Amino acid sequence: MTDKACLKTFRVRGIDNRFRLVTNRGEVEKDAESFLRAIETRGLSPCTIRAYAYDLLILYRWMNQEGRTVEELSQGDLVEFIRFQQAANASATSINRRLVVAELFYRFMTGEPMAKRGTKNASLPSPHYKGRGKDRELGLQQIKAPLYRALRVKTSRTLVEPLTSEQARLLIRSFTRYRDISFAYLMLLCGLRSREVICLCMDDVNFNEQRLHVTGKGGNERVLPLPTLLLKYLRDYLRVERPKICCTRALFTVLKGKRRGCAMTTAGLRSLFRYRRKDEKIKNANPHRLRHTFGTDMARAGVRLFILQKLMGHEDSKTTLKYINLSMADIAAEFQRAAKEIHKRYTDDK
């Protein structure tokens, strides 16, 4: 370790847009640096590398507070790490992701899986020894090794409500630029992630064939049809608002200020929505909820699962199933329809 002091700063250094952990003295944490560079070789996206770096930051803060090093950790120590995060009101999903990063980092540093000491419940009796892979009574079946269960926190499935049509229209009306309206429609009508919108290039839009080339997570590519309404706003943006002289081939650029003509950032995109969420009627209107609304609208319209999977860029259909939840309005409408039919069975009303 380069410094036992608590890590307080975390920032991007250099022009290569790489993430590094630094101490409060400005020294780079070499072990974390090596781990993050190794992760990059797997071809993960910059957003994933950033998430790994922030998870390492939480781990390092806890280790420095407890006076521990990564080589000394065991599964039992991670129980204390869980309590540390729960005290900070971290979500179960975030805690589990950081546990994975801690285990990967330990394996990277030591070359071995993390030891299980400290997690065994002493009140439970030891299992009966049945010999070397055979049952002593029957002597036939192979006894499989017990599955390794990683230390994780139970997560609850939460219901994400899509935007109503009134909320979506109110959000669209709040934008005053063709660029910003195009942002919203790319997520609402095409289901793009915010990062995918920012990464679009000029050559990705084919106006003649009304198609859009998208590079998603892990470098996976897909081609989407473009609605006529969206094409109109994109043309207006390129004709009226996009600076004639730009220092980037990115489709969406900054329109004013010192960075005029430079590529938009994810932070800039989210700030547009953060400002509009001050309106109580659309306080839940964030970029990801627009994408969720797209998936829900497609499912309501009867789009088949495997087609919706391709449209949203999911590698696994299970992700698409988890992603789409019926709203309470859908559930109530279906319940009332079924209840009306059931009511006829048990009444004399004709």
Q: What is the pLDDT of residues 181-235, one digit of tens each?
A: 999 999 999 999 999 999 999 999 999 999 999 998 878 899 999 999 999 999 9
In a shared domain, residues 105 and 222: no
Please report the pLDDT score of residue 117 as a whole number: 57
Q: Which residues contact 314 (CB under 8 A, 6 or more apart)?
A: 320, 323
**What DSSP line would sit under 75-132, residue for residue?**
HHHHHHHHHHHHHTT--HHHHHHHHHHHHHHHHHHHSSPPP-TT-S-TTSPPPPP--S
The total of structural domains in the chain comes to: 2
- Give the pLDDT of residue 204: 96
173 lies in the same domain as 296: yes
The answer as to whether 132 is a domain residue is no
**Residue 78 sits in the same domain as residue 211:** no
DSSP secondary structure, 327-343, as one string: -HHHHHHHHHHHHHHHH
Instruction: Among 110, 131, 148, identify where a domain stops.
Output: 110
The CATH number assigned to the domain holding 75 equals 1.10.150.130
Spatial distance between the Cα atoms of 102 and 68, rounded to a whole number of angstroms: 13
Co-location of 105 and 234 in the same domain: no
What burial class does residue 304 get, using C-beta atoms within 10 Å of its C-beta: 0-12 exposed, 13-18 middle, 19+ buried? exposed
Q: For residues 74 and 82, what is the distance between their CA atoms, to the nearest angstrom? A: 13
Stated length of the chain: 350
The last residue of one of the domains, among 41, 76, 110, is 110
Same domain? For 227 and 317 the reply is yes
Indicate whether 188 and 97 sit together in one domain: no
| CA 207 – CA 226 distance, rounded (Å) | 9
Asked, for residue 171, whether it belongs to a domain, the answer is yes
**Cβ contact 31:77 at 8 Å:** no
What confidence score (pLDDT) does residue 133 get? 53
For residue 153, tell me if it sits in a domain: no
Domain match, 292 and 178 both = yes
For residues 272 and 266, what is the distance between their CA atoms, to the nearest angstrom?
Answer: 10
Would the CA dihedral through 216, 217, 221, 222 be positive or negative?
negative
Domain containing 91: what range?
9-110
Residues 106 and 171 in one domain: no
The answer to whether 60 and 102 are in contact (CB under 8 A) is no
Q: What is the CATH number of the domain that holds 253?
A: 1.10.443.10
Q: Report yes or no on 154 lying in a domain.
A: no
Give the list of residues 6+ apart from residue 276 with CB closer than 8 angstroms, or none.
171, 174, 282, 285
Instruction: Enumerate the β-bridge partners of residue 250.
Output: 201
For residue 137, being part of any structural domain is answered with no
Distance CA 175, CA 183 (A): 10
CA-to-CA distance for 39 and 17, rounded, in angstroms? Answer: 15
SS3 at position 13 = strand
188 within a domain of the structure (yes/no): yes
State whether residue 142 is helix, strand or coil: strand
Distance (Å, rounded) from C-alpha 233 to C-alpha 240? 10
- Domain assignment present for residue 244? The answer is yes
SS3 225: strand
83 with 178, same domain? Answer: no
Domain boundary among 110, 126, 145: 110
- Average pLDDT, 10 consecutive residues per value, the chain (350 residues): 43 55 76 88 80 89 88 88 92 92 92 70 43 50 57 76 90 93 95 93 94 89 94 96 92 92 89 85 88 89 87 85 66 82 76
Residue 237 is given by DSSP the state I
Question: Are 78 and 193 within one domain?
Answer: no
